[in-house]
Structure 1
Amino acid sequence: MPGRHVTDHQMRLFMTLKQTHSIPIAAAKAGISQATGYRLNSDPVLPGQKKPPRGRRRPDPLAEIFDAEVVPLLTSSPGLRPVAIFEELLRRHPDLGPGIRRTLERRIRAWRAEHGPEQEVIFRQIHTPGRMGLSDFTAMGKLCVTVAGQSLDHRLYHFRLAYSGFEHAHVVLGGESYVALAEGLQNALWSLGGVPQEHRTDSLSAAFKNLDRSAQADLTDRVDALCRHYGMTPSRNTKGVAHENGAIESPHGHLKRAIEDALIMRGSRDFETLGAYRAFIDEIVGRINARNAKRIDIERASLKPLPDRRTTDHEEVTVRVTSSGGFLLRKVFYTVPSRLIGHQLRVRLYDDRLELFLGATFLQTLPRGRATPSGSHGHVVNYRHVIHSLRRKPMALMGLVYRDQLFPRRAFRDMFAALLEQTSEKTACRMAVDLLALAHDRGCEAELAAQLDEDLRQRRLPDIQALRALFAPPPETLPGISVQLADLSSYDRLVGDVTITEEAAA
């Protein structure tokens, strides 16, 4: 058409149509004039190939510098960043100016493509159903999740099947450890309903940290025994080579982004309980698995059957309950009922809990505590275990090592601080112990904490007698007891009968 340039596409179309049509018809169908059609027929070079190459519009600022100064730097230090070379050139040649940075970066990229060192090649693998499952841990601190207002320091154990993409995630409160791996892996396998042929980890480098050689060997033996129980072949990728675990390293990011999106849609990052947060994670992972349901069903048919039972997913240690009413385990002090003082207990150590046994008898479950990041001892304290002794020795509260952890709720701790400000130490300790005793005796810990919060807002001290009356059981709930006194004359008849019996026997 007049005033418009013929494109390469129009010319290719014209040359194709010309094979079955006359030149005027082919030109009309290609959207060009008949004269242009005859001209293109005599000169079959594409218009794009007739354009002269674009030349420089300004002098090359690196013409005398690149080969003389930049190339020697790249040759002697292949890992040198372009920005470092750029800053060095500005130092050597102040007249260059910052506008050469992009030119320099493009020139270095082109030089490295032609003369740079060989780079590592990633070999894509074919995954077959039922062959490989992978385990890894990923940190979750950046998500800023809280439970009951307290920051949750945790990570996720993540399991994935390489072929189908089946995933399982388990919230881990500690670091990478055998118990976290064993519990998470077994939960994943029993949820899946089958076992892959091979199980791969990243060498558990964090679990090996600060362990001596014998402890590292013991950890490796336990992981291998876990795999043997399920009939899996254990394998580990080369330390520091993350792409060998690529079938799970990349899904780490996808899973965390899905959790981040769900937290934003939820509108809050705070959860009432740890169980609620774990249910939240399970729901997200369940949606991911639902998208891969067809491939998962295909892979399930190729999995090996599960064994008859789970294997050990805990560590077992023996502790002795001291006169302090508890025991020390891995720099954490735990309180137990005082009747256990002097006894040895068997402790099953899980990632998030401790199970206590006296001989073969199960006693109770305690939440697992951990030492503080500074290295000082932690405390897991239940005031119900020691309240009977505190009643007799309330001043012990003043310098108690685990005093802050003794208070079950923040309101009790804040009220004790207010009592110390407004009364003597003796009175403050006595009233604080009375409040704890009231919460224990009447089972009103939450309700009493709410009342103490109200007293703190009103800036008044608690009235112990009024609180006892407030939380006393309603009179109508007390059972009615009728006592019938025996007639005292019946005792005289009983004594007389005994005397007659003794005379007859004589």
Structure 2
Amino acid sequence: MAVTDAQVRKLMEELTKHGNLGLAAAKAGMDRKTARKYRKQKQLPSEVKPPRDWRTRQDPFEEDWPALAERLAQAPELEAKTLFEELLAKAPERYQPGQLRTLQRRVRQWRAQAGPAKEVFFAQAHRPGEAMQTDFTWGTELGVTVRGEPFAHLLCHPVLPYSNWEWVTVCQSESLAAIKRGVQAALFQLGRVPRYHQTDNSTAATHRLADGKRGFNPEYLALMQHLGMEPRTIEVGEKHQNGDVEALNGALKRRLTQHLLVRGSADFDSVAAYETWVQQVVTKANALRSEKVAQELAAMRPLAVEKLPEYSEVDVLVTGWSTIRVKHNTYSVPSRLIGETVRVRLYDEKLEVLHRGEAQLTVQRLHGRNGHRINYRHLIWSLVQKPGAFAQYRYREDLFPSLTFRRVYDALRQQLEERKADMEYLRILHLAASTLEADVQAALEKLLAAGGLRSAEAVKAAVAPVRCEVPHLAVPEVDLRAYDALLTEGQEVAS
């Protein structure tokens, strides 16, 4: 088997470490005699092997190549596969599908020798303390679970490109709240602030203008102004301009994967516990960069501001459907708020609904567009009075809290006509809202298993509290004459 350049490089690396030829040859995966040869000549196999300037077989495209080269000159973006398909159609007796790779190599050689100039990327020399780059990367591939449940999430990853100092926060989306929380956490960890903050063109930081360019969102600009940084972004479609943080995203996930293996488990008690663990891993990595980090800190300005709240606020009107619409998604709220304007605090992972400063509701935040989160407890009191609305209710599927409730409704529909089944199901849902959903679900599962589910009354009876009988206690008669005797004796002694 031929020795590769990579094997010889490994050999030289091992020889530099300890000088033991046999051990180095074993680690490089080659024979000891071969290792001795390459140690002596100090050249890679690719440097030793003379270039071949002859062909071992006839070129099958020799006849058509001048025409192909002319077409490539006119349209350099043409692919070899497209050209080969045309040749197959033109002369199927001379070409076979297995010759595609040969033409691809020929086209690649033409591009290298006569093709158009390619874009050149220029390595950048980063200056200490000049900028912080922030990017988001998916952490779901780490296989983390929270109390046994798969945890889909992103990692907000701010980096100082000169020293590769980094910080991480766990988030659910590339939202402004996530950027605010992540960047502030990094800066307050450093205690100092660079001149620039660089991001890609995520919608949290930028928005598309009428001329096709992207400008910064007012909320993001306000954040940068508060922290004392100048915002800048990469060109649209030019990810390499954020190359440092992009590269560190992969390094971060490899490091976390290794530490999960050392930990022996990818399960955590809570999201907070997981985030703390991630930040401990990152802190250890940052300790190895202390010399360059010190140069960064010396070049940055002190952070002299207070941390902003990790949420933004918006005022919305509660509709007659007992819902609010926030960031293109719909949420239900208690029906007593219908017609009122409420203030919504948008965190990355949740919403808080307040009315005149008083907290009314906390709900998990939806991401994306046109989602909905409807809590049946907010609507059931009206639905039992208007059961006909259930059949065509837009968010009806949200009124099945679990698969058990869905099975119950299906079982009722098999036994009863639709309107009656709707009524019975809504009564069961009303019972769940009035008592404990878990108790009602347990009773439903037993009734389904026994085939005894006929109406809401059966469920109500199953979850009715057991009445305790008050025991009958006999009231003893009290003889007070002993007390009278004591009083009489006391009077005689006094006289």
CA 1:420–1:104: 2 relative to 1, 3 Å: closer
- Give the distance between the partners of 1:448 and 1:137, measured in 2 at CA: 42
Change (3 A) 1:409 1:463: same
Quote the Cα distance in structure 2 between the aligned partners of 1:147 and 1:457.
31
Structure 1 residue aligned with 2:81? 83
- The one-letter code sitting in structure 2 at the alignment partner of 1:337 is P
For residues 429 and 49 of structure 2, what CA distance do their matches in structure 1 show? 93
1:447 has 2:439 as partner: yes
| Cα pair distance change 1:56/1:294, threshold 3 Å | closer
1:367 to 2:359 alignment: no
User: Greater shift after overlay, 285-294 or 446-455?
Assistant: 285-294
What secondary structure, in the 3-state scheme, does the structure 1 residue paired with 2:342 have? strand
Higher mean alpha-carbon deviation, 76-85 vs 95-104, is at 95-104
Letter in 2 for 1:108: V
1:99-498 matched pairs, under 5 angstroms: 100-138=99-137, 156-162=155-161, 163-173=163-173, 176-191=174-189, 193-204=191-202, 219-254=216-251, 276=270, 280=274, 283=277, 286-287=280-281, 290-295=284-289, 298-299=292-293, 301-302=297-298, 304-311=301-308, 313-369=310-366, 378-442=371-435, 444-461=436-453, 464-465=456-457, 467-468=459-460, 470-473=462-465
SS at match of 1:80: coil
Partner secondary structure for residue 446 of structure 1: helix
The alpha-carbon deviation at position 419 of structure 1 amounts to 1.2
Distance 1:433 1:233, change over 3 A: same
2:112 partner amino acid = A
Quick one: which amino acid aligns to residue 181 of structure 1?
A: I
Change (3 A) 1:122 1:212: closer
Q: What is the CA–CA distance in structure 2 between the aligned matches of 1:284 and 1:134, rounded to whole Å?
A: 19
Structure 2: 5+ residue stretches without partners: 1-32, 34-46, 472-495
The number of aligned residues is 421
Amino acid at match of 1:132: A
The letter of the residue matching 2:285 is R
State whether residues 332 and 378 of structure 2, in contact with CA within 8 Å, keep that contact through their aligned partners in structure 1.
yes
**Residues 125-179 of structure 1: per-residue CA shift (max 9 Å, x gap):** 2334433221234467989999999998865543333222414143224xx4433
| Alpha carbons of structure 1 residues 153 and 210: separation in structure 2 relative to 1, 3 Å | farther
Shift of 1:91: 4.2
Deviation digits for residues 379-415 of structure 1 (CA, Å, limit 9, x no counterpart): 3222332333344444543443333213332322321
- The match for 1:3 is none
Distance verdict in 2 for CA 1:277–1:462, change over 3 Å: farther
Q: In the alignment, what sits opposite 2:69?
A: 71
CA distance in 1, matches of 2:242, 2:51: 50
1:233-262 Cα distance to aligned partner (Å, 9 max, x none): 211112221111111223344556778899
**Residue 248 to residue 426, structure 1, CA distance change in 2 (3 Å):** same
Measure, in 2, the Cα distance between the counterparts of 1:390 and 1:153: 34
Q: Which AA in structure 2 matches 1:287?
A: V
Query: Larger deviation: 322-331 or 348-357?
Result: 322-331
Residue aligned with 1:75, SS: helix
User: Is contact 1:129-1:164 (8 Å) kept?
Assistant: no
- Identity across the alignment (%): 35
Q: Indicate the RMSD between aligned Cα atoms, in angstroms.
A: 4.6
Confirm or deny: 8 A CA contact 1:229 1:307 kept in the other structure: no
Describe the shift of the 1:56–1:238 C-alpha distance in structure 2 as closer, same or farther (beyond 3 A): closer
TM-score with structure 1 setting the length? 0.67
Matched residue SS, 2:217: helix
Contact 1:166–1:296 (Cα < 8 Å) also in 2: no
Q: Deviations over 1:403-439 (max 9, x none)?
A: 3213332322321222122123444334323323332
Mapped to 1, the partners of 2:248 and 2:49 lie a distance apart of 49
Greater C-alpha radius of gyration:
1
Any idea what SS the aligned residue of 2:193 has?
coil
Structure 1 contact 195–304 (Cα < 8 Å) conserved? yes
Conserved? CA contact 1:159–1:169, under 8 Å: no
Q: Deviations over 1:65-98 (max 9, x none)?
A: 43x2232133222222233334444444542445
**Structure 2 CA distance for partners of 1:84 and 1:139, relative to 1, 3 Å:** farther
Quote the Cα distance in structure 2 between the aligned partners of 1:263 and 1:384: 40
Structure 1: gaps (5+ residues): 1-30, 32-47, 481-506
SS in 1 for 2:183: helix
